[in-house]
């Protein structure tokens, strides 16, 4: 299952945006309002949204100034969340969030709408930086 968020413009250079996204504690600023738990632990963080199970994301991959990829810590629901960064100018960058998960058809049906909303919220909050 693939979900691609809208591409948004952030008023940061690609280097600044990359550095922001690689500091996992900064993801708390991007989370939806209904976040009930957010804890950083080394190269991972765990978050919980109201009415949803807690999820731990681990830093999987970093390509300097162009990509930050997080992945699920649990192999039960394998997925990645990637931020692709493209510099427009020294003060502006475009960023696109891409979710890629390996779910069975039933699970995909259940999680597609909430995940799409989650990606949308993260994207909107990135645009406000």
Residue 114 phi, psi (nearest 5): -65, -35
Average pLDDT over residues 99-106: 93
CA distance linking residue 13 with residue 36, whole number of Å: 31
At 21, the pLDDT band (50, 70, 90 cuts) reads very high
CA distance linking residue 116 with residue 100, whole number of Å: 11
Q: How many residues does the chain have?
A: 129
Predicted local confidence at residue 50, as pLDDT: 86
Average pLDDT over residues 13-42: 96
Q: Name the nearest CA neighbour of 24 among 50, 60, 63.
A: 60
Question: What domains, with CATH codes, occur in the chain?
Answer: 2-127 (3.30.530.20)
Name 93's bridge partners.
Answer: 10, 87
Residue with tokens 């039933």: 106
Does the model's pTM come out above 0.75? yes
């Amino acid at each position: 299952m693939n979900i691609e968020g809208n591409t948004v413009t952030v008023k940061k250079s690609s280097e600044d945006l990359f550095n922001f996204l690689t500091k996992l504690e900064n993801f708390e600023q991007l989370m939806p309002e209904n976040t009930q738990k957010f804890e950083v632990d080394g190269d991972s963080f765990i978050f919980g949204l109201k009415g949803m199970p807690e999820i731990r994301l681990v830093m999987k991959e970093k390509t300097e100034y162009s990509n930050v990829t997080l992945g699920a810590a649990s192999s039960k629901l394998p997925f990645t969340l990637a931020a692709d960064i493209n510099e427009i100018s020294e003060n502006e960058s475009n960023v696109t969030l891409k979710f890629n998960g390996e779910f069975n058809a039933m699970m995909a049906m259940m999680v597609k709408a909430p995940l799409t909303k989650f990606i949308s919220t993260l994207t909107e909050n990135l645009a406000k930086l």
